Amino acid sequence: MMANKLFVVPVTIGAETKLNGEARRWMPDLKNRKNVLVNNDYWRDRFVNLDKRFKEWILT
pLDDT at residue 59, as a whole number: 93
pLDDT at residue 50, as a whole number: 93
Domain boundary assignment for the chain: 2-59
CA distance 56 to 60: 7
CA distance 29 to 12: 16
Does residue 5 register a pLDDT over 90?
Answer: no
Higher per-residue confidence, 20 vs 6: 20
- pLDDT digits 0-9 by tens, 9-57: 777 888 888 889 888 888 777 778 787 776 778 888 888 999 999 999 9
* CA 35 vs CA 10, 32, 38, 49, 51: distances in Å: 14, 6, 10, 29, 27
The amino acid sitting at 5 is: K
